[in-house]
Amino acid sequence: MEKIPPEIMAQVASYFQVLSEPTRLHILNLLQEGECNVGEIAQRCGYTAANISRHLSLMTKQGLLERRRQGTTVYYRIADPSVYALCELVCGNLARRLLQAAQVSGGWPQDASPMEHQGEP
Amino acid sequence: MEKIPPEIMAQVASYFQVLSEPTRLHILNLLQEGECNVGEIAQRCGYTAANISRHLSLMTKQGLLERRRQGTTVYYRIADPSVYALCELVCGNLARRLLQAAQVSGGWPQDASPMEHQGEP
DNA sequence: TGACTATTTAGTCAAACAGTCAAATAATGG
DNA sequence: CCATTATTTGACTGTTTGACTAAATAGTCA
């Protein structure tokens, strides 16, 4: 249907990879309320500032965040709000999947792995 | 705004992680044309069948694909077409970003790292 | 059953990554 | 300039991950 060049594929993969970390998603969630500095994000996430700074740097490099310096502190904010649309889409997929699994199987809301009973009698 | 439980965050991260690999994106792209068996996917991707089988297994476990066995060969197909919406959203983000960078800076279409000259007077 | 094919799994290796602490850098105020 | 505070970066560590080969499993057919 469409031959997609490998560099584009790699770019898209990189973008998704930025979103594939709970800590980074946590940061994005915090920043939904508005811009925030490194120290506070670190404190609220429960990690060291060094660690959070790395995550922020990565997300900025990927175009998700923007930096603003004021005095000695650095504030980060969302650069492209459409990431939230992505997250909601994924949440929707997951919810649909869980619902479906619950209907079919019985109803453990947690720890889904409905892959075993497929075609083995 | 919204306190999101960490397990949900981890689930979403896992979902994104599945999409964070060029090889897996390649597979998804192939499967857009219709279902396909392991060997052919492997051949078309240029990897070993063992490797591709692992990727397919992971994607199936995450709910992106479905399996169908016919004789000794196993066919995989898309379980949830909304992944393509996700990919297109990301492509849109990337394109917008590249355009913007090209306008501001000069116009290398490759190897973007427009992070140096931002706002420090 | 045994040969044959297709897929999956086990075991291994090297590269990438998240996390830490400590040192380096940047901005401000005495 | 020196001290202070906030952020970034360097060096290191344990874990994860994508790839491979080789062995195991599953299904078909003579």
**Cα gap A70→A79, rounded to integer Å:** 18
Positive/negative CA dihedral, A39, A61, A88, A95: negative
Give the closest residue to A65 by CA, choosing from A46, A37, A95.
A37
Whether CB of A23 is under 7 Å from strand D: the answer is: no
Q: Which of B20, B82, B89 sits opposite A85 (nearest CB)?
A: B89
Phi, psi of B77 (to 5 degrees): -145, 165
**Look-up of token digits 């979902």:** B15
Structure confidence at residue B34 as a pLDDT band (50, 70, 90): very high
Of residues B6 and A74, more confidence is placed in: A74
**Which of A12, A20, A80 is the closest to B87 by Cβ?**
A12
Coil, helix or strand at residue A68: strand
pLDDT category at A46 given cuts 50, 70, 90 is very high
Q: Does B105 touch chain A (CB under 8 A)?
A: no
- Record the pTM: 0.85
Tokens at B43, concatenated: 């051949």
Query: Nearest CB to B10: which of A17, A22, A32?
Result: A22
**pLDDT at A97 (0 to 100):** 86
**Given a cut of 80, is residue B118 above it in pLDDT?**
no
Position A110 confidence tier, pLDDT thresholds 50, 70, 90: very low
- Please state the rounded mean pLDDT for residues B82-86: 95
Could you give the CA distance from residue A56 to residue A62 in angstroms, rounded to a whole number? Answer: 10
pLDDT, mean of residues B5-12: 92
* φ and ψ at residue B75, rounded to 5 degrees: -105, 140
* B103 — pLDDT class (breaks 50, 70, 90): confident
Is B2–A80 a contact, with Cβ atoms under 8 angstroms apart? no
Which two tokens mark A30? 């915090």
Is any atom of strand C within 7 angstroms of residue B49's beta carbon? yes
- Cβ–Cβ under 8 Å, residues A59 and A65: yes
- Are residues A25 and A19 in contact, defined by beta-carbon separation less than 8 angstroms? yes
- SS3 (DSSP) at A67: strand
Q: How confident is the model at residue A98 (pLDDT cuts 50, 70, 90)?
A: confident
Residue B16 to residue A20, Cβ atoms within 8 A: yes
User: Which pLDDT band, with edges at 50, 70 and 90, does A103 fall under?
Assistant: confident
The C-alpha of B40 sits at a distance from chain A's nearest C-alpha, in angstroms, of 16
Residue B35 region by backbone torsions, left for phi larger than 0, else alpha for psi between -120 and 50, else beta? beta
Verify if strand D has an atom below 7 Å from the CB of A65.
no
